[in-house]
Amino acid sequence: MNRTTACEVHRRLLEEYPIVDGQRHFLEFYNPYETLILTILSAQTTDRAVNAVRDALFARYPTPEALARAEPEEVEPLIRTIGFHRTKARHIVGAARKVVDEFGGEVPRTMEELLQLPGVGRKTANIVLSQAFDINVGIAVDTHVARLSKRLGFTGSKNPDIIERDLVALFPEEVWGDINYLLIRHGRAVCTAQNPKHDRCVVADLCRYYRELRDEGK
């Protein structure tokens, strides 16, 4: 895929899923603290499951200071339904404590600092930087981004590191955050893993996967 076509994909998806007030939030994030916690919780889980526990969690722990004072054992039952709840309870409490103790109660704004927080790896850090601060140091390749990148023809690889390299080379830096958001958004709604909805896809005519399906007479 060339840059011109990639740019057209970006334009059409942006029209389909408008970004209001610069908010690329498909979970209903409100601030850096909530973005950090919800992104940690989102690992290997659906946004629906995370949204289901969001209100109760932040009603009880509205700030990093409140969560830092909690014990993981008392946070666990609040997030029981999202999976990996024992590990994640430890992670978010540990992250809150580190934010309070070492970063003055503010969620850090650099990759290096974010990676020091428990439960935060490169993907989570990328997403927090992009969504909370509009700082785009790379492109977080989750399963949605990987699937759409392969189908549309942004990349030929299924290795996340190579996919990120291809995407970073294909798109100008100022739209990296957009691309992250838009591919995930489109992947959830239309370009699903099973039974993708080609008839509702605004980039079907640019899609390598769709073209191959038609060439095979399907």
Partner DNA sequence: ATCCCGAGGG
Partner DNA sequence: CCCTCTGGAT
Name the residues that contact DNA, by CB under 7 A. 25-27, 39, 42-49, 80-87, 91, 117-125, 127, 131, 140, 142-144, 147, 184, 187-188, 193
What's the chain look like in SS3?
CCHHHHHHHHHHHHHHCCCECCECCCCCCCCHHHHHHHHHHCCCCCHHHHHHHHHHHHHHCCCHHHHHHCCHHHHHHHHHHHCCHHHHHHHHHHHHHHHHHHCCCCCCCCHHHHCCCCCCCHHHHHHHHHHHHCCCCCCCCCHHHHHHHHHHCCCCCCCHHHHHHHHHHHCCHHHHHHHHHHHHHHHHHCCCCCCCCHHHCCCHHHCHHHHHHHHCCC
Q: Which residue, 8 or 103, has its beta carbon nearer to DNA? A: 103
Nearer of residues 30 and 215 to DNA, judged by Cβ: 30
Examine the residue annotation and report whether 21 is marked as an active-site residue of this protein: no
Least distance between DNA and beta carbon 52 (Å): 8
Residue 162 CB, shortest distance to DNA, in Å, is: 12
Q: What is the closest distance, in whole angstroms, from the C-beta atom of residue 45 to DNA in the complex?
A: 5
By C-beta, is 2 or 194 nearer to DNA?
194
Catalytically annotated residue among 98, 142, 166, 178: 142
Nearest distance in Å: CB 48, DNA: 6
Nearer to DNA, 10 or 85 (CB): 85
Catalytic residue among 98, 123, 166, 178: 123
Quote the least distance from Cβ 170 to DNA, whole Å.
20
| Sign (positive or negative) of CA dihedral 52, 59, 88, 84 | negative
Q: Is there a catalytic annotation at residue 123? A: yes
Longest CA span, the chain: 61
Between 59 and 193, name the residue whose CB sits nearer to DNA. 193
Position 77, amino acid: P
| Residue whose token pair is 């994640």 | 88
As annotated, the active-site residues are: 123, 142
